Amino acid sequence: MKRNPSRKKSSSGEEERALLSKMMLIRKFEEKAAEQYTKEKIRGFLHLYIGEEAVAVGVIQALSEEDNILCTYREHGHALMRGLNPGVIMAEMYGKVEGCSKGRGGSMHLFDVDKHFFGGSAIVGGHLAMAVGLALASKKQKKNNVTCCFFGEGAAAEGEFHEAMNLAALWKVPVLFVCENNLYAMGTALKYTHAMQDLEKKGAAYGIPSVAVDGMDIIAVKKAAEEAINYIKESGMPYFLVCNTYRFRAHSMFDAELYRDKKEVEEWKKKDPIINYHQVLKRKRLITKVQYDQIEAQIKEEIDKAVSFAEKGSWEAVEDLGKFVYSE
């Protein structure tokens, strides 16, 4: 079973720099997506992952290529971490045929079955039941893989969350529930949506091992994810991981963001997972300025290529717009 290259041990700081690079790629990609949105190159909804990068990177690096991944509509970072080509993702956001969903899904519905990336779900909490189903299928087919389901704390207030947790525990299926708790379900603060704000305690009600971790700390997330996946692989049982994090940008590009104080956002930016991890690597002498500049240059080149690929992409022919509406 192949694992992600970032998990290889290295005394030279290679693994650590790879983690930093992956978070930087997500950040720069999202910033470019926002820029292209303001230019009306990307239309519809656009939900950015800026500030939460340590969660996707920390968790997905621990998964194997055979493991399944399901996400919310804020899933660009997860898709990049899973290995979807940035150009193909950007083309999808542009609505071009060369996109991973042939331009029909857009920002909220990235999908790649070959990479076991079962996409973004626009229905809050709707994919939790799908995750249990995929995990049940794996169990029945005697596959030794994990189904990893990312969702926000807003979904944890939905009935679907409780149904999925209950069935996962009853059926003893290998699913990793990852709650990305960014404290605001759209514009509603956590304290207004959850009577019990220590979300990890909800898993205990179903007898599911549950852990909360600092989602702004890439090393803490990575360690917790590896422990969770090892548990699932060995036991075949579900696990609940809560990553307490924060989005630095508004809920979506349409959001006026009137529900939280700007001072709060600035305080959370001091916990920036990229800046802080870079400082850790500098203190440990695992990265030089030259190496950091090289990473930045490589990422800029990759994103420029992604935009160019999307710009040169094809619009779907008018006569083909009726395809996939009805099954044939």
Q: Which pLDDT value is given to residue 321?
A: 86
Whether 69 and 148 have beta carbons less than 8 Å apart is answered as yes
The yes-or-no verdict on residue 96 having pLDDT over 50 is yes
Question: What is the Cα Rg of the chain in Å?
Answer: 19
Q: Considering the chain, what is the average pLDDT of its residues?
A: 94
Query: What homologous superfamily is domain 13-187+195-270 in, according to CATH?
Result: Thiamin diphosphate (ThDP)-binding fold, Pyr/PP domains (3.40.50.970)
Q: Which pLDDT value is given to residue 11?
A: 55
Average pLDDT over residues 20-38: 98
- More confident of the two residues 172 and 320: 172
Tens-place pLDDT, residues 178-232: 999 999 999 999 999 999 999 999 999 999 999 999 999 999 999 999 999 999 9
The residues that bridge with 213 in the sheet, in sequence order, are 243
What does the domain layout of the chain look like in residue ranges?
Answer: 13-187+195-270
The yes-or-no verdict on residue 257 having pLDDT over 50 is yes
Q: Which pLDDT value is given to residue 231?
A: 97
Sign of CA dihedral 95, 98, 99, 100: positive
Q: Which pLDDT value is given to residue 5?
A: 43
Tens-place pLDDT, residues 167-178: 999 999 999 999
Whether 112 and 91 have beta carbons less than 8 Å apart is answered as no
Q: Which pLDDT value is given to residue 160?
A: 95
The yes-or-no verdict on residue 10 having pLDDT over 70 is no
Average pLDDT over residues 134-143: 96
The yes-or-no verdict on residue 9 having pLDDT over 60 is no
Q: Can you give the pTM of this predicted structure?
A: 0.93
Q: Which pLDDT value is given to residue 325?
A: 85
Q: How far apart are CA 57 and CA 21, in angstroms?
A: 10
Average pLDDT over residues 249-263: 92
Torsion of CA 185, 247, 161, 106, to 10 degrees: 90
Q: How far apart are CA 62 and CA 48, in angstroms?
A: 23
Among residues 243, 197, 200, 235, the alpha carbon closest in space to that of 218 is found at 243
The residue type of 248 is F
Tokens in use for 323?
């395809």
The pLDDT confidence band at residue 2, using thresholds 50, 70 and 90, is: very low
The yes-or-no verdict on residue 258 having pLDDT over 60 is yes
